[in-house]
Amino acid sequence: MKFKLIGAAVAVLCLGMGAVTAQETPVAKREALMKGIGGSVAQLSGIAKGDKPFDAAVVKTALTTISTNIKAFPDLFPAGSEANSAAAPAIWENNTDFRAKAAKMGADADMVLASMPTDQAGVQKAMQTIGANCNACHQTYRLKK
């Protein structure tokens, strides 16, 4: 009887933890931020390639998401949170440089926002400025799956 109760309590606890893992862990939050960045870049590159018409509102929203998300991103790496993620150990070993790379992309996004692109060519240029940051960080700090 006692064991049964303990078993039930553990099961409830595990269910609770499952819910946390799905939405609120640092890993889920930071991956959601990166997904937002990826989606924004996809919108911008659609315009840059001419697949989509230039739309100032879409461009501004995408740039704002990129800026906001990359600024929040480096604060979501508490010690020990590399499990079940693509975060490389170098993030913790070299945190100052990791943060500097995030800050650089934030600054680049803000620079583009300050002189908003007004046409397809402007979006192409913005993509070059911002896009260079992705690989620069991923090659050191993101594990290949």
Using CB under 6 A as the binding rule, whether residue 137 contacts ligand HEC is answered as yes
- Number of other residues whose CB lies within 10 A of the CB of residue 113: 16
Give the span between the Cα atoms of 132 and 47, in whole angstroms. Answer: 18
Q: 123, exposed or middle or buried, with CB in 10 Å at 0-12, 13-18, 19+? A: buried
Check if the beta carbon of residue 102 is closer than 8 Å to that of residue 71. Answer: yes
Query: Which residue's CB is nearer to ligand HEC, number 12 or number 35?
Result: 35
65-124: which residues touch ligand HEC (CB under 6 A)? 85-87, 98, 101-102, 105
Residues 6+ apart with CB under 8 A from 54: 47, 118, 119, 120, 123
28-67: which residues touch ligand HEC (CB under 6 A)? 30-31, 34-35, 37-38, 41
Query: Which residue's CB is nearer to ligand HEC, number 48 or number 87?
Result: 87
Query: Which residue's CB is nearer to ligand HEC, number 13 or number 77?
Result: 77
- Residues near ligand HEC (CB under 6 A) are 27, 30-31, 34-35, 37-38, 41, 85-87, 98, 101-102, 105, 130-131, 133-134, 137-138, 141-142
